[in-house]
Amino acid sequence: MNERIRGKCPRLYFVGVGGQGTLTATRILAEAALLAGLEVVSGEVHGMAQRGGVVESCLLLGGWRSPRVAPGEADIVLGFEPLETLRAAPYLAPGGAVFSSLDPIPPLSVCVGDEEYPDIEDIMAKAHKKADYSHFMSCNALGKQAGSQKYGPTALLGAVCASGLTPISIEYLGRAISQVFRGKTAEANLAAMKLGAKSVPYPVKNL
């Protein structure tokens, strides 16, 4: 792993498509970082996208001042859609990590037959080659276990925090979820978080 991950000041790059909750996931993790007493800065890379369009955001921990991540600077990539994870590969820094959903949301070009969606195994292989550590999971399936696939992004956050690659623990993530959501929605997101946490080694070996 690279020095920023080891030093607990990683730059995280989030990517997904509109309607998935990518920006909400960024907000939750930022809240968790604040609860943990960490310095945090976050921002949207290209702003809010319409449903189905690309959404990119970032979260920088440990005293960074710029709310941006340039290509080659992201220590951890969180992909909420596998094709977008692949497209985000140029942003990954040497020695970085990738956490990604396995559940495709084909873009319009694929839906109308102009292009073919890449093979999931090929996407995973390229991520494994690019990153020091990569973890793919069916966020939809874990979300459904928690009550609805819409809770899938929270499962991905659970996996990231359980990995030990960020200074944000599952405890603080859970507290942030309880602040952002209320009632049954909070309970379902907490369940998704725990399912995501169970999907990865804890902590990741060879840190």
The pLDDT of residue 179 is: 96
Tokens representing 191?
Answer: 């369940």
Task: Provide the residue ranges of all domains of the chain, joining segments of one domain with +.
Answer: 3-105+117-198
Q: pLDDT tens across 82-140, in order? A: 999 999 999 999 999 999 999 998 887 888 888 899 999 999 999 999 999 999 999 99
Integer Cα distance of 163 and 174 in angstroms: 15
What digits encode the pLDDT tens for the residues 99-112? 999 999 888 788 88
**Higher-scoring residue by pLDDT: 203, 120:** 120
Q: At residue 205, does pLDDT exceed 70?
A: no
CATH 3.40.50.720 for domain 3-105+117-198, yes or no, is no
Which pair of structure tokens corresponds to residue 97? 């990590």
Q: Closest by alpha carbon to 192, among 120, 141, 116?
A: 141
Q: Rounded to whole angstroms, how far apart are CA atoms 15 and 18?
A: 10
Task: Reply yes or no on whether the pLDDT at 45 is more than 70.
Answer: no
Task: Summarize pLDDT for 48-63 with one digit per residue, the tens.
Answer: 455 557 789 999 999 8
Do the beta carbons of residue 156 and residue 102 sit within 8 Å?
no
Confidence of residue 47 (pLDDT cuts 50, 70, 90): very low
Q: For residue 113, what pLDDT is reported?
A: 83
Give the burial string for 115-148 (b: 16+ CB within 10 Å, else e): eeeeeeeebbebbeebbbbbbbbbbbebbbbbee
Confidence at residue 57, expressed as pLDDT on a 0 to 100 scale: 93
Percent composition of the chain: helix, strand, coil (DSSP 3-state, to 5): 45, 20, 35
**Amino acid 106: pLDDT:** 84
CA dihedral 161→166→169→172, nearest 10 degrees, is -100
The whole-model pTM stands at: 0.92
Which of the two residues, 171 and 49, has the higher pLDDT score?
171
Q: Put the strands of the sheet holding 133-137 in their side by side order.
A: 40-44, 54-61, 11-17, 74-79, 92-101, 133-137
Q: State the pairing for strand pair 54-61/133-137.
A: unpaired
